[in-house]
Structure formats: structure tokens, C-alpha cells
Structure 1
């Protein structure tokens, strides 16, 4: 199930490279949107911590399946 995060600021290339080294399936349909596949609770926490440590502000997080 994909998780979509909307951020206040665009993700830098360096941060995106770091995220992609830690998480397998990451896409960026928009400069301020990250979509990450197959996150469990620990992975979600790690991703949020990584974003916060990089100074990103998470505006929204949606991890509902499209069939909901």
C-alpha cells in the first residue's frame, strides 16, 4: 500500500537520494510530494524522523489504500 506525504518545501536531490537508499520504492509525482510503497510502522517512523531532521514540514500523510 502506498503512503503519500505532502511536504511544505520541495525535497532536495540530496535528501531524495538518501531516502531512496533507505526505502525501495519511492516516487515524487510533484516536488513537494513523496510516495513510498510498503512502509510498516517502524519504516514510517524512520522516514518521518529523517524528514524532520532535514528540516522538512509534513503537511499531510495518507496511507489509505485507493479502494477505501
Structure 2
């Protein structure tokens, strides 16, 4: 399966430290908008999406919508 783009809408702004970890582990990460409640990751495969969701879960960040 080809890598694609995922957009995750989060219940609350993502913590800066969590975002730093995500940007270290994954390429092409952005948080458009001022409040940091949307996370966009480009060129991500299914295994990486799972790892990202587990990281968010482990850090107490709740995703309320995922588009991919």
C-alpha cells in the first residue's frame, strides 16, 4: 500500500513535547492553525499510523477524527 496523508483532529491542543517527539519520528508533520488541535502527517504508511496513534494514546492525547 502506498504512503498517504493523514489528518488527525485532536480533542485538545497537542503538547509541545509530544509534537517534538512526533516530528522526530515522522517526516512531513504540520499543525495548521493557531490552536494545535489538527495534526497532519504526510507520506505515512499503515504501520506508522498505528505507531503514531499509540504514541498519542500513551501521552493522553485524544484523537476525535482521523482522515486518511
Q: Distance in 1 between matches of 2:41 and 2:21?
A: 13
Which aligned segments of 4 or more residues in structure 1 are displaced greater than 2 angstroms? none
2:55 to 50, 59, 66: 50
CA distance in 2, matches of 1:54, 1:28: 17
Aligned residues: CA RMSD? 0.7
Query: Where does the alignment leave 5 or more consecutive residues of structure 2 unmatched?
Result: none
Alignment equivalent of 1:5, drawn from 4, 8, 20: 8
- Secondary structure in structure 2 of the residue aligned to 1:59: strand
TM-score by length of 1: 0.88
TM norm structure 2: 0.88
What is the aligned residue count? Answer: 63
Q: What is the aligned counterpart of 1:33 among 26, 33, 38?
A: 38
Distance in 2 between the 1:48 and 1:39 partners? 12
